[in-house]
Structure 1
Amino acid sequence: MLGNTHIVGGITASLAFAQISNENPLILLGAGIVGALLPDICHGGSKMGRTFPISSKIVNKLFGHRSFTHSLLFLFCIAVLMNAFVPYKAFTIGLLLGMVSHFILDMGTRQGIKLFFPINFKVRFPLTIKTGGKVEKYIFAGLCLLSLYFGFEIIIGIVNIT
């Protein structure tokens, strides 16, 4: 999936979770966007790879693309680090939600992901799409609509409280 689709996926996941939690939706949202981009630190051409080129090259040399940074092990490591060093629960939850949305979206591509890294086994859905293809544009549009819906629900909830 392309970076923009991952961003909207992270937004959608964060706003959906905000519907059922008491966490700050703005913190969830910001962290969800970061989390949705973080797994692609292993790819030099990604938004994260271009922002942190040295880290991206190191991670890619060590693990390659769509392996460690797209795994449950990476998700667990980030969760442990966040719980140890970041006092804001909403940020940790948002970051992890964004990462999970990234994993799910990439499992819908032909390349799949190594979800159970270090086991060399790729996980992907039975029906896959081409990254950047026409179907991804429909997925992007659907996620945008869901984000608008969940965002509207949050705004209405805030207005009703005041």
Structure 2
Amino acid sequence: MSLPRLWTISQELDPVRAMRREMENAFRAFDQKPSPPEIGAGAPAISVAETNDAFEVTAELPGVDEKDINVSLDDNQLVISGEKKAQSTKEEKDWHVEERSYGSFYRSMLLPFEPEEGAVEAHFDKGVLHLTIKKPAKTVKTTKTIDIKTGAPPSASPISNKAAAPSKAA
């Protein structure tokens, strides 16, 4: 059992503690409030993978019709854009919560090369856009195997070659 302190500073009189307590309460309140739903469709989530001869891009576009998606190339910039259109709400039901996002979306990325004509293929399946962007032949990486030789490397310095060679005395 500890004895009570006779000379303590009240939390109300200590301005640093009061400010700290106010900030902690503000952060606690911030964490507890749900964030408001996003207005519009925003930027779709994408995944980008690279193979030896192509880039593969997938974009999640749930609830978007294929006809409402635009894919374009501007030099080496790939652009995915479009619009997620609102569906009509049936008045037969008393809706309590309806969380849907509608509006235009836009996503772009710079490619490390300018694709050739006809190098991009696009497929849309179950709300996911699949793009394959073939690399130009000049940018396809090739791997070369280097043979490893046994022994010490030949010396590049002519002075050390002379010192290493036995002298022929008469």
Report TM bin, short chain: under 0.3
Relative to total residues, which structure has the larger strand share, 1 or 2?
A: 2
Higher helix content, 1 or 2: 1
User: TM-score scaled by structure 2?
Assistant: 0.19
TM-score calculated relative to the size of structure 1: 0.20
Name which one, 1 or 2, has greater alpha-carbon Rg.
2
